[in-house]
């Protein structure tokens, strides 16, 4: 593609967390295909290296880190270098009916899904790691609006990202930095497969979704749009990528 392509990520360095699997992994792969240089973060060294090996282009780096630990967040901030984009794709999901919610369960889910992306963003901003015209993207989830069974804490954690993002976007607009959320529906990922071992079935989720189960690429391409200059006028935005799952639901009621 020619230079001046608003969808190209050539010349951009992008940090993707949760890059060892699922949506994070595919986002890294698709961003590299669009020309970006990647900084990958993930907990599993071997799987992270496997993602890195799949990236087109050169100069990609990987940082093995558990973002529920502050020292690991600090290390990612220190080692990431200058960035033009950040995709917070790391996340965890565990089901618990409301009467069985414990402080430990809340701490675990919020630590991974809320504290980590917020504190990592804070660290990157404090060290001025994100360049002007940069784009910060949070992978939220439709659970934030839908509230599926037994996912109270997970849904709350994903909803928290929306509130944080709206304020963050105002804070960073003076530097020309944008912040947005993507809210995916049911996507074929290890996380969904993990949930289904708890009793659900992937086929059921696929049946609920008018366009069927999503693929990680579908979310990755939305991320490419939000990272690229094509979306330079879009900030404080919450974008639903769900194959139509919520079309028959009044999620704003």
Question: Which residues of this chain interact with another protein, rule CB under 8 A?
Answer: 1, 6-7, 30-31, 33-34, 56, 166, 169-170, 173, 176, 178, 210-211, 214-215, 217-218, 220-222, 224-225, 230-237, 239-244, 246-248
Least distance (Å) between residue 141 CB and another protein: 15
Per the annotation, the verdict on 154 as an active-site residue is yes
Rounded-to-integer distance, Cα 111 and Cα 117, Å: 9
Rounded-to-integer distance, Cα 161 and Cα 179, Å: 11
Helix or strand run (H / E) with residue 24: helix 22-33
Rounded-to-integer distance, Cα 51 and Cα 40, Å: 9
Least distance (Å) between residue 217 CB and another protein: 7
Rounded-to-integer distance, Cα 221 and Cα 34, Å: 10
Cβ atoms of residues 54 and 20 within 8 Å: no
Cβ atoms of residues 141 and 156 within 8 Å: no
Catalytic residue among 115, 154, 186, 226: 154
86/187 with CB nearer another protein: 187
Q: Put the strands of the sheet holding 83-88 in their side by side order.
A: 61-64, 37-42, 13-17, 83-88, 130-139, 178-184, 237-241
34/150 with CB nearer another protein: 34
65/220 with CB nearer another protein: 220
Least distance (Å) between residue 16 CB and another protein: 14
Least distance (Å) between residue 214 CB and another protein: 5
Going by their DSSP bridges, the two strands 130-139 and 83-88 should be labelled as: parallel
Rounded-to-integer distance, Cα 200 and Cα 214, Å: 17
111/133 with CB nearer another protein: 133
Known catalytic residues? 154
């Amino acid at each position: 593609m020619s230079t001046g392509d608003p969808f190209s990520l050539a010349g951009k360095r992008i940090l993707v967390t949760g890059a060892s699997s699922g949506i994070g992994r595919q986002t890294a792969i698709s961003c590299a295909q669009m020309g970006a240089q990647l900084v990958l973060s993930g907990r599993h060294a071997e799987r992270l290296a496997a993602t890195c090996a799949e990236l087109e282009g050169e100069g990609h780096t990987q940082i093995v880190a558990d973002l529920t630990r502050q020292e690991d967040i600090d290390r990612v901030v220190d080692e990431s270098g200058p960035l033009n984009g950040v995709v917070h794709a790391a996340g965890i999901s565990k089901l618990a009916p409301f009467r069985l919610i414990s402080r430990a369960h809340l701490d675990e889910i919020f630590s991974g899904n809320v504290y980590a992306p917020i504190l990592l963003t804070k660290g990157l901003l404090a060290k001025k790691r994100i360049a002007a015209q940069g784009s910060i993207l949070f992978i939220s989830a439709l659970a934030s609006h839908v509230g599926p069974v037994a996912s109270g804490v997970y849904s709350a954690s994903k909803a928290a990202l929306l509130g944080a993002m709206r304020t963050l976007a105002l804070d960073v607009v003076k530097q020309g930095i944008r912040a947005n959320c993507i809210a995916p529906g049911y996507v074929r990922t290890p996380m969904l497969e993990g949930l289904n071992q708890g009793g659900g079935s992937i086929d059921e989720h696929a049946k609920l979704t008018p366009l069927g189960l999503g693929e990680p690429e579908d979310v990755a391409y939305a991320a490419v749009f939000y990272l690229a200059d094509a979306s330079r006028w879009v900030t404080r935005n919450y974008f639903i990528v769900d194959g139509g799952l919520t079309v028959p639901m009044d999620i704003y009621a």
